[in-house]
Structure 1
Amino acid sequence: MSSEQAPTKGQLAPVIRATDHNGTLVDTESVRGQRPVVVFFFPRAFTVGCTREACAFRDSYSAFETLNAMVVGVSADSPQVLREFAQQHKLPFHLVSDTDGSLRKLFQVPRSLFGLLSGRVTYVIGRSGRILDIFNSQLSWTEHVNVAKKAIAAEEAAT
Protein backbone atom coordinates (compact mmCIF):
# COMPACT_ATOMS: atom_id res chain seq x y z
CA MET A 1 0.00 0.00 0.00
CA SER A 2 1.44 3.39 -0.95
CA SER A 3 1.88 5.97 1.78
CA GLU A 4 -0.69 8.24 0.02
CA GLN A 5 -3.44 5.61 -0.12
CA ALA A 6 -5.70 5.20 2.89
CA PRO A 7 -6.26 1.60 3.97
CA THR A 8 -9.70 0.23 3.09
CA LYS A 9 -11.86 -2.71 4.14
CA GLY A 10 -10.43 -6.00 2.98
CA GLN A 11 -6.84 -4.77 2.70
CA LEU A 12 -4.03 -5.87 4.95
CA ALA A 13 -3.77 -3.38 7.78
CA PRO A 14 -0.60 -1.39 8.30
CA VAL A 15 1.59 -2.81 11.06
CA ILE A 16 2.02 -1.02 14.37
CA ARG A 17 5.33 -1.68 16.06
CA ALA A 18 5.68 0.73 18.98
CA THR A 19 6.09 0.94 22.73
CA ASP A 20 2.96 1.54 24.80
CA HIS A 21 2.46 3.76 27.86
CA ASN A 22 3.95 1.04 30.12
CA GLY A 23 7.02 0.43 27.97
CA THR A 24 5.58 -2.79 26.51
CA LEU A 25 6.21 -3.53 22.83
CA VAL A 26 3.03 -3.52 20.74
CA ASP A 27 3.54 -5.45 17.51
CA THR A 28 0.35 -6.06 15.57
CA GLU A 29 2.16 -8.20 13.03
CA SER A 30 3.13 -10.69 15.76
CA VAL A 31 -0.55 -11.48 16.45
CA ARG A 32 -1.58 -11.78 12.80
CA GLY A 33 -3.28 -15.12 12.27
CA GLN A 34 -3.92 -15.47 16.02
CA ARG A 35 -6.22 -12.69 17.15
CA PRO A 36 -8.14 -9.65 15.97
CA VAL A 37 -6.89 -6.14 16.71
CA VAL A 38 -8.80 -2.92 17.32
CA VAL A 39 -6.81 0.27 16.73
CA PHE A 40 -8.58 3.46 17.76
CA PHE A 41 -7.04 6.84 17.04
CA PHE A 42 -8.18 9.62 19.35
CA PRO A 43 -7.21 13.31 19.41
CA ARG A 44 -6.18 14.03 23.03
CA ALA A 45 -6.21 12.32 26.41
CA PHE A 46 -8.26 13.92 29.18
CA THR A 47 -10.67 15.70 26.81
CA VAL A 48 -14.36 14.94 27.23
CA GLY A 49 -14.84 12.93 24.02
CA CYS A 50 -11.57 11.03 24.25
CA THR A 51 -12.16 10.15 27.88
CA ARG A 52 -15.66 8.87 27.07
CA GLU A 53 -14.34 6.84 24.15
CA ALA A 54 -11.46 5.32 26.12
CA CYS A 55 -13.75 4.53 29.05
CA ALA A 56 -16.24 2.89 26.67
CA PHE A 57 -13.43 0.60 25.47
CA ARG A 58 -12.52 -0.03 29.12
CA ASP A 59 -16.11 -0.83 30.05
CA SER A 60 -16.36 -3.30 27.14
CA TYR A 61 -12.88 -4.73 27.61
CA SER A 62 -14.16 -8.08 28.92
CA ALA A 63 -16.11 -8.50 25.66
CA PHE A 64 -12.92 -7.85 23.69
CA GLU A 65 -11.08 -10.36 25.89
CA THR A 66 -13.81 -12.92 25.19
CA LEU A 67 -13.26 -12.26 21.47
CA ASN A 68 -9.48 -12.60 22.08
CA ALA A 69 -8.96 -9.13 20.62
CA MET A 70 -6.03 -6.82 21.24
CA VAL A 71 -7.09 -3.19 21.80
CA VAL A 72 -4.69 -0.34 21.02
CA GLY A 73 -5.43 3.36 21.49
CA VAL A 74 -3.24 5.87 19.64
CA SER A 75 -2.90 9.62 20.21
CA ALA A 76 -0.34 12.38 19.84
CA ASP A 77 0.02 12.62 23.61
CA SER A 78 3.38 11.86 25.23
CA PRO A 79 3.94 8.46 26.86
CA GLN A 80 3.81 10.16 30.29
CA VAL A 81 0.42 11.76 29.60
CA LEU A 82 -0.91 8.43 28.31
CA ARG A 83 0.43 6.67 31.41
CA GLU A 84 -1.41 9.18 33.63
CA PHE A 85 -4.56 8.85 31.50
CA ALA A 86 -4.47 5.05 31.77
CA GLN A 87 -3.88 5.17 35.52
CA GLN A 88 -6.58 7.72 36.25
CA HIS A 89 -9.21 5.90 34.20
CA LYS A 90 -8.00 2.34 34.85
CA LEU A 91 -7.54 1.59 31.14
CA PRO A 92 -6.50 -2.06 30.67
CA PHE A 93 -5.34 -1.85 27.04
CA HIS A 94 -2.32 -0.50 25.18
CA LEU A 95 -2.00 3.25 24.64
CA VAL A 96 0.59 4.26 22.05
CA SER A 97 2.11 7.71 21.74
CA ASP A 98 2.28 9.04 18.19
CA THR A 99 3.93 12.40 18.85
CA ASP A 100 5.52 12.50 15.40
CA GLY A 101 2.27 11.56 13.62
CA SER A 102 3.86 8.59 11.84
CA LEU A 103 1.08 6.14 12.77
CA ARG A 104 -1.63 8.60 11.75
CA LYS A 105 0.17 9.03 8.44
CA LEU A 106 0.58 5.25 8.01
CA PHE A 107 -3.16 4.74 8.52
CA GLN A 108 -4.02 7.99 6.68
CA VAL A 109 -6.20 9.18 9.56
CA PRO A 110 -7.87 12.35 8.31
CA ARG A 111 -8.10 15.55 10.29
CA SER A 112 -11.59 16.77 11.13
CA LEU A 113 -13.50 19.97 11.87
CA PHE A 114 -11.90 22.05 9.13
CA GLY A 115 -8.52 20.40 9.72
CA LEU A 116 -8.29 21.68 13.28
CA LEU A 117 -8.55 18.36 15.15
CA SER A 118 -6.82 15.06 14.79
CA GLY A 119 -9.32 12.54 13.51
CA ARG A 120 -11.10 9.93 15.60
CA VAL A 121 -11.02 6.72 13.57
CA THR A 122 -11.23 3.06 14.61
CA TYR A 123 -9.78 0.26 12.49
CA VAL A 124 -11.06 -3.25 13.19
CA ILE A 125 -8.54 -5.82 12.00
CA GLY A 126 -9.42 -9.48 11.69
CA ARG A 127 -7.27 -12.47 12.61
CA SER A 128 -5.93 -12.54 9.04
CA GLY A 129 -4.62 -8.99 9.39
CA ARG A 130 -7.20 -7.66 6.95
CA ILE A 131 -9.35 -4.66 7.82
CA LEU A 132 -12.88 -5.74 8.73
CA ASP A 133 -14.31 -2.28 9.33
CA ILE A 134 -13.36 1.39 9.64
CA PHE A 135 -15.41 3.80 11.72
CA ASN A 136 -14.72 7.53 11.41
CA SER A 137 -16.69 9.82 13.71
CA GLN A 138 -15.47 12.71 15.80
CA LEU A 139 -18.61 12.88 17.96
CA SER A 140 -20.02 9.33 18.21
CA TRP A 141 -17.52 8.47 20.93
CA THR A 142 -18.98 5.22 22.18
CA GLU A 143 -20.13 3.94 18.78
CA HIS A 144 -16.48 3.11 17.99
CA VAL A 145 -16.72 0.31 20.56
CA ASN A 146 -19.99 -1.03 19.17
CA VAL A 147 -18.70 -1.13 15.59
CA ALA A 148 -15.54 -2.95 16.70
CA LYS A 149 -17.39 -5.60 18.74
CA LYS A 150 -19.90 -6.26 15.95
CA ALA A 151 -17.21 -6.62 13.26
CA ILE A 152 -15.12 -9.04 15.31
CA ALA A 153 -18.16 -11.06 16.44
CA ALA A 154 -19.34 -11.34 12.83
CA GLU A 155 -15.93 -12.61 11.71
CA GLU A 156 -15.83 -15.11 14.58
CA ALA A 157 -19.35 -16.35 13.73
CA ALA A 158 -18.32 -16.88 10.10
CA THR A 159 -15.37 -19.12 11.00
Structure 2
Amino acid sequence: MPLQPGDSAPNFSLPDADSNLVQLTDYRGQWVVLYFYPRDNTPGCTKEACSFRDFYSDYQSSDVVVLGISTDDAKSHNKFATKYSLPFPLLTDVEGHVATAYESYGLKKFMGKEYLGISRNTFLINPDGKIEKVYLKVKPDNHASEVLADLGAIRAA
Protein backbone atom coordinates (compact mmCIF):
# COMPACT_ATOMS: atom_id res chain seq x y z
CA MET A 1 0.00 0.00 0.00
CA PRO A 2 1.46 3.40 -0.94
CA LEU A 3 2.56 5.87 1.71
CA GLN A 4 -0.39 7.95 2.87
CA PRO A 5 -0.89 11.06 4.97
CA GLY A 6 -0.63 10.04 8.61
CA ASP A 7 2.02 7.36 7.95
CA SER A 8 5.39 7.72 9.64
CA ALA A 9 7.95 9.02 7.16
CA PRO A 10 10.65 6.37 6.65
CA ASN A 11 13.86 7.54 8.29
CA PHE A 12 17.07 7.59 6.28
CA SER A 13 20.71 8.52 6.44
CA LEU A 14 22.18 9.80 3.15
CA PRO A 15 25.23 11.83 2.20
CA ASP A 16 24.81 15.33 0.81
CA ALA A 17 26.95 16.85 -1.95
CA ASP A 18 29.77 17.47 0.60
CA SER A 19 29.59 13.89 1.97
CA ASN A 20 27.95 15.01 5.25
CA LEU A 21 25.42 12.46 6.47
CA VAL A 22 21.88 13.79 6.70
CA GLN A 23 19.15 11.95 8.59
CA LEU A 24 15.47 12.74 8.48
CA THR A 25 15.37 12.57 12.28
CA ASP A 26 17.81 15.54 12.34
CA TYR A 27 14.81 17.66 11.38
CA ARG A 28 12.28 16.38 13.92
CA GLY A 29 10.32 19.38 15.15
CA GLN A 30 10.43 21.05 11.73
CA TRP A 31 8.39 20.74 8.55
CA VAL A 32 10.29 18.98 5.76
CA VAL A 33 9.72 19.06 2.02
CA LEU A 34 11.34 15.88 0.71
CA TYR A 35 11.38 15.85 -3.06
CA PHE A 36 12.60 13.07 -5.31
CA TYR A 37 13.81 13.95 -8.79
CA PRO A 38 15.24 11.83 -11.63
CA ARG A 39 18.51 13.55 -12.65
CA ASP A 40 20.73 16.56 -12.07
CA ASN A 41 21.01 19.03 -14.95
CA THR A 42 18.00 17.81 -16.91
CA PRO A 43 15.31 20.29 -18.00
CA GLY A 44 12.46 19.29 -15.67
CA CYS A 45 14.72 18.66 -12.69
CA THR A 46 16.51 21.97 -13.18
CA LYS A 47 13.17 23.77 -13.40
CA GLU A 48 11.96 22.11 -10.20
CA ALA A 49 15.18 22.74 -8.26
CA CYS A 50 15.31 26.38 -9.37
CA SER A 51 11.69 26.83 -8.33
CA PHE A 52 12.51 25.59 -4.82
CA ARG A 53 15.54 27.91 -4.88
CA ASP A 54 13.40 30.89 -5.90
CA PHE A 55 10.94 30.23 -3.04
CA TYR A 56 13.63 29.18 -0.56
CA SER A 57 13.48 32.36 1.52
CA ASP A 58 9.72 31.78 1.95
CA TYR A 59 10.41 28.22 3.09
CA GLN A 60 13.12 29.42 5.48
CA SER A 61 10.94 32.14 6.99
CA SER A 62 8.29 29.45 7.57
CA ASP A 63 10.92 27.22 9.26
CA VAL A 64 10.61 24.56 6.55
CA VAL A 65 13.51 22.36 5.44
CA VAL A 66 13.84 21.47 1.73
CA LEU A 67 15.72 18.29 0.79
CA GLY A 68 16.20 16.98 -2.76
CA ILE A 69 17.04 13.32 -3.45
CA SER A 70 18.22 11.61 -6.62
CA THR A 71 20.47 8.69 -7.53
CA ASP A 72 23.18 11.06 -8.79
CA ASP A 73 26.52 11.02 -6.99
CA ALA A 74 28.00 13.79 -4.82
CA LYS A 75 30.15 15.18 -7.65
CA SER A 76 27.09 15.59 -9.89
CA HIS A 77 25.10 17.17 -7.03
CA ASN A 78 27.94 19.59 -6.33
CA LYS A 79 28.10 20.75 -9.94
CA PHE A 80 24.30 21.06 -10.14
CA ALA A 81 24.00 22.97 -6.85
CA THR A 82 26.86 25.31 -7.76
CA LYS A 83 25.67 25.97 -11.31
CA TYR A 84 22.17 26.95 -10.15
CA SER A 85 23.03 28.37 -6.68
CA LEU A 86 20.83 25.84 -4.91
CA PRO A 87 20.76 26.73 -1.19
CA PHE A 88 19.33 23.44 0.12
CA PRO A 89 20.89 19.97 0.44
CA LEU A 90 20.82 17.50 -2.44
CA LEU A 91 21.14 13.98 -1.07
CA THR A 92 22.76 11.05 -2.82
CA ASP A 93 20.71 7.84 -2.99
CA VAL A 94 22.89 6.01 -5.53
CA GLU A 95 21.30 2.59 -4.94
CA GLY A 96 17.77 4.02 -4.75
CA HIS A 97 17.07 2.49 -1.32
CA VAL A 98 15.48 5.62 0.17
CA ALA A 99 13.54 6.32 -3.01
CA THR A 100 12.29 2.72 -2.83
CA ALA A 101 11.20 3.19 0.81
CA TYR A 102 9.21 6.23 -0.36
CA GLU A 103 7.81 4.27 -3.33
CA SER A 104 9.52 6.68 -5.70
CA TYR A 105 11.84 4.24 -7.48
CA GLY A 106 10.93 1.66 -10.05
CA LEU A 107 10.46 0.76 -13.67
CA LYS A 108 10.11 3.72 -16.03
CA LYS A 109 9.70 4.01 -19.79
CA PHE A 110 11.21 6.64 -22.04
CA MET A 111 11.38 6.61 -25.82
CA GLY A 112 10.52 2.91 -25.95
CA LYS A 113 13.16 1.87 -23.42
CA GLU A 114 12.53 0.56 -19.93
CA TYR A 115 14.87 1.32 -17.04
CA LEU A 116 14.89 1.70 -13.27
CA GLY A 117 14.75 5.26 -12.00
CA ILE A 118 13.29 7.82 -9.64
CA SER A 119 9.78 9.18 -10.06
CA ARG A 120 9.20 12.90 -9.46
CA ASN A 121 7.35 12.68 -6.13
CA THR A 122 7.30 14.97 -3.10
CA PHE A 123 6.42 14.33 0.53
CA LEU A 124 5.46 17.04 2.99
CA ILE A 125 6.48 15.78 6.43
CA ASN A 126 5.18 17.39 9.61
CA PRO A 127 7.24 18.18 12.73
CA ASP A 128 6.20 14.85 14.31
CA GLY A 129 7.76 12.91 11.42
CA LYS A 130 4.44 11.97 9.85
CA ILE A 131 3.60 12.37 6.18
CA GLU A 132 1.19 15.27 5.86
CA LYS A 133 0.74 15.33 2.07
CA VAL A 134 1.94 13.26 -0.89
CA TYR A 135 2.48 14.67 -4.40
CA LEU A 136 2.86 12.05 -7.13
CA LYS A 137 4.11 12.58 -10.69
CA VAL A 138 4.83 16.22 -9.97
CA LYS A 139 4.81 18.84 -12.71
CA PRO A 140 7.96 20.87 -11.99
CA ASP A 141 6.75 24.30 -13.15
CA ASN A 142 4.70 25.50 -10.17
CA HIS A 143 5.42 22.79 -7.67
CA ALA A 144 7.40 24.82 -5.11
CA SER A 145 4.67 27.46 -4.86
CA GLU A 146 1.98 24.74 -4.70
CA VAL A 147 3.67 23.06 -1.72
CA LEU A 148 4.13 26.42 0.02
CA ALA A 149 0.45 27.28 -0.48
CA ASP A 150 -0.63 23.85 0.81
CA LEU A 151 1.61 24.24 3.83
CA GLY A 152 0.05 27.62 4.62
CA ALA A 153 -3.44 26.12 4.36
CA ILE A 154 -2.52 23.14 6.58
CA ARG A 155 -1.01 25.39 9.24
CA ALA A 156 -4.03 27.70 9.15
CA ALA A 157 -6.50 24.84 9.64
**Counterpart position of 1:146:** 145
1:27 aligns with 2:20: no
1:6-28: CA deviation from partner (whole Å, max 9, x where unpaired): 31111111112212112233221
Q: Which runs of 5+ in 2 are unaligned?
A: none
> Structure 1 stretches (4+) deviating beyond 4 angstroms?
110-117
Contact 2:33–2:66 under 8 Å retained in 1: yes
Counterpart of 2:35, as a letter, is F
Q: Distance in 2 between matches of 1:154 and 1:62?
A: 18
1:120-142: CA deviation from partner (whole Å, max 9, x where unpaired): 0011111121111111125x113
Deviation at 1:113, TM superposition (A): 4.2
1:1-159 aligned at under 5 Å gives the runs 5-32=1-28, 34-111=29-106, 112-113=108-109, 116=115, 117-137=117-137, 140-158=139-157
State the TM-score, normalizing by the size of structure 1: 0.87
Q: Distance in 2 between matches of 1:15 and 1:150?
A: 25
Q: Which runs of 5+ in 1 are unaligned?
A: none
Q: Does 122-131 or 149-158 show the bigger shift?
A: 149-158
Alignment length, in residue pairs?
152
Deviation at 1:62, TM superposition (A): 0.5
Q: Does 34-43 or 15-24 show the bigger shift?
A: 15-24
State the TM-score, normalizing by the size of structure 2: 0.88
Q: Does 10-19 or 23-32 show the bigger shift?
A: 23-32
More strand by share: 2
Q: Secondary structure at the match of 1:55?
A: helix
Contact 1:124–1:151 under 8 Å retained in 2: no
Q: Distance in 2 between matches of 1:77 and 1:98?
A: 7
Counterpart of 2:47, as a letter, is R
